[in-house]
């Protein structure tokens, strides 16, 4: 009897086999070593760095090093590069492979930001397929590490070309394709077009990873378990906004895919994770940078937390570790104590 394929499973990307298929997406300004580390602790199987400039990397790799640092529990990762020049991208890939040994090197072909697109990088590459394919070929020739691409549906509604982009880049050597199922024009608005994932998975002979509006275990189950006739099987899912201040989404998705009990995420765990996240940040940045950078992360953790507005007000003013300790203590004081919870409410 053929066993049904479990929804949580490793994926082969070229010669690399992942631990599983629940990934942290590349997110500029967020996906640093500390954040990737807490996501891995929470059950994420592979974390992507934020996009790193190939030009900056080959000019002065020391400056970009901060983006490529690895946490102690990050035994494997994926590094994402952006750029428009095949030769520079290839040199950057070789440098990254040599110095940081990632398991995957991904090409950003979806970024909608004008500054990036103006230089022919990010989603502009979807309008210049010969260039994108030349980048894939040059990078694949420069390193033995599998090269993958992250794309969008197309530039706008009138130029949906993800199937062609995927087919052409796979022919050029890409070992997996991630689709953020929106157009460049949409940026982050509207709904990701979920049906496109299965269409793409049916069209290419490499793993397809889904990105866009995956916020809950139900979203992950719907995409990985999609049995629409004609749809291919999506190999893995990537979470971006849904993991901000919420690394627990990985443990919840993992439990759902494995059919095990939903983990309990209480307010004490949320606070302890945020505190650990900040302390980890101090290992990778100087105190001032860690202090400023962590404000947005702290605010993300406070979404839906009682007294959140008041605590956010405090968080956005924190700069030093001592100020953060005061903030975390204030947060702790605002938690309902076990004794409060056990006591019957008085009239
Ligand atoms: C603030 C922000 C920064 C992002 N940075 C990157 C990036 O560096 N590289 C990339 O490929 N995608 C980037 N993305 C896109 C995400 O990886 C993801 O594809 C998109 O947000 C859709 O997923 P979501 O609905 O889970 O957020 C970014 C998204 C956001 C919101």
Span from the CA of 102 to the centroid of ligand 1 (angstroms): 20
Q: How far is CA 37 from CA 27, 42, 65, 102, in A?
A: 14, 9, 17, 15
Which pLDDT value is given to residue 252? 98
Span from the CA of 343 to the centroid of ligand 1 (angstroms): 44
Q: What is the mean pLDDT of the chain?
A: 94
**Does residue 108 register a pLDDT over 80?**
yes
Please name the helix (run of DSSP H) or strand (run of DSSP E) that holds residue 67, with its range, or none.
helix 61-68
CB atoms within 10 A of CB 63: 11
Which pLDDT value is given to residue 338? 54
**Does residue 2 register a pLDDT over 50?**
no
Beta strands in 98-195 (DSSP E): 104-109, 147-154, 177-183
61 vs 298, residue with greater confidence: 298
- Phi then psi dihedrals of residue 194, to 5 deg: -60, -35
- Best mutation site among 22, 23, 26, 237 for ligand 1 pocket (most ligand atoms within 8 Å of CB): 26
- Phi then psi dihedrals of residue 81, to 5 deg: -115, 150
Q: How far is CA 211 from CA 110, 207, 275, 276, 299, in A?
A: 11, 13, 28, 27, 23
Of all protein residues, the one whose alpha carbon is nearest to atom 23 of ligand 1 is 212
What are the residue numbers of the active site?
111
Of all protein residues, the one whose alpha carbon is nearest to atom 14 of ligand 1 is 27
Span from the CA of 32 to the centroid of ligand 1 (angstroms): 13
Decide: 23 and 239 in contact? Cβ < 8 Å.
Answer: yes
Mean pLDDT check: name the lowest of 26-35, 224-233, 331-340: 331-340
Q: Which pLDDT tens digit goes with each residue over 189-204? A: 999 999 999 999 999 9
- Best mutation site among 210, 240, 250, 299 for ligand 1 pocket (most ligand atoms within 8 Å of CB): 240
pLDDT more than 70, % of the chain: 95
Q: What value does the CA radius of gyration of the chain take, rounded to a whole number of Å?
A: 21
| Angle at CA of residue 284, ends 250 and 108, nearest 5° | 60
Span from the CA of 180 to the centroid of ligand 1 (angstroms): 8
pLDDT classification of 60: cutoffs 50, 70, 90: confident
Of all protein residues, the one whose alpha carbon is nearest to atom 13 of ligand 1 is 27
- Best mutation site among 22, 24, 25, 210 for ligand 1 pocket (most ligand atoms within 8 Å of CB): 25
Which pLDDT value is given to residue 5? 61
> Stretch 295-323: mean pLDDT, rounded?
96
- Pocket-forming residues, ligand 1, beta carbon under 6 Å: 25-29, 50-51, 80, 108, 110-111, 150, 180, 188, 211-214, 239-242
Of all protein residues, the one whose alpha carbon is nearest to atom 10 of ligand 1 is 26
Span from the CA of 271 to the centroid of ligand 1 (angstroms): 25
Which pLDDT value is given to residue 274? 98
pLDDT classification of 344: cutoffs 50, 70, 90: very low
Beta bridge partners of 347: none
Q: How far is CA 311 from CA 301, 304, 328, in A?
A: 10, 11, 9
Of all protein residues, the one whose alpha carbon is nearest to atom 2 of ligand 1 is 27
25 vs 343, residue with greater confidence: 25
């Amino acid at each position: 009897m053929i066993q049904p394929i479990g929804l949580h499973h490793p994926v082969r990307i070229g010669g690399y086999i992942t631990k599983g298929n629940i990934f942290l997406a590349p997110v500029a300004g967020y996906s640093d070593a500390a954040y990737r580390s807490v996501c891995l602790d929470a059950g994420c199987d592979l974390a992507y760095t934020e996009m790193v400039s190939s030009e900056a990397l080959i000019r002065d790799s020391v400056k970009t090093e901060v983006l490529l640092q690895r946490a102690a529990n990050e035994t494997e990762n994926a590094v994402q590069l952006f750029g428009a020049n095949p030769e520079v991208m290839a040199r950057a890939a070789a440098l990254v492979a040599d110095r940081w040994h990632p398991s995957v090197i991904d090409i950003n072909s979806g970024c909608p930001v004008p500054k990036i697109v103006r230089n022919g990088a990010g989603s502009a590459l979807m309008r210049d397929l010969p260039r994108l394919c030349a980048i894939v070929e040059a990078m694949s020739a420069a390193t033995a590490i599998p090269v993958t691409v992250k794309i969008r549906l197309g530039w706008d509604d009138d130029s949906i070309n993800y199937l062609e982009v995927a087919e052409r880049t796979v022919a050029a050597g890409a070992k997996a394709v991630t689709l953020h199922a929106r157009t460049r024009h949409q940026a982050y608005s509207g709904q990701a077009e979920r049906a496109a994932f299965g269409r793409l998975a049916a069209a290419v002979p490499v793993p397809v990873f889904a990105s866009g509006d995956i916020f809950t275990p139900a979203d992950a189950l719907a995409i990985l378990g999609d049995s629409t006739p004609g749809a291919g099987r999506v190999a893995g899912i990537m979470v971006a906004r849904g993991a901000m201040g919420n690394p627990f989404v990985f443990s919840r998705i993992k439990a759902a895919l494995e059919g095990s009990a939903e983990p309990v995420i209480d307010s004490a765990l949320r606070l302890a994770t945020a505190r650990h996240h900040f302390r980890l940040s101090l290992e990778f940045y100087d105190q001032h940078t860690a202090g400023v950078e962590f404000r947005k992360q702290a605010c993300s953790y406070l979404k839906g937390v009682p007294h959140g507005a008041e605590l956010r007000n405090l968080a956005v003013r924190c700069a030093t570790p001592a100020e953060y300790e005061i903030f975390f203590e204030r947060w702790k004081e605002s938690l309902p104590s076990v004794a409060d919870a056990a006591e019957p409410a008085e009239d």
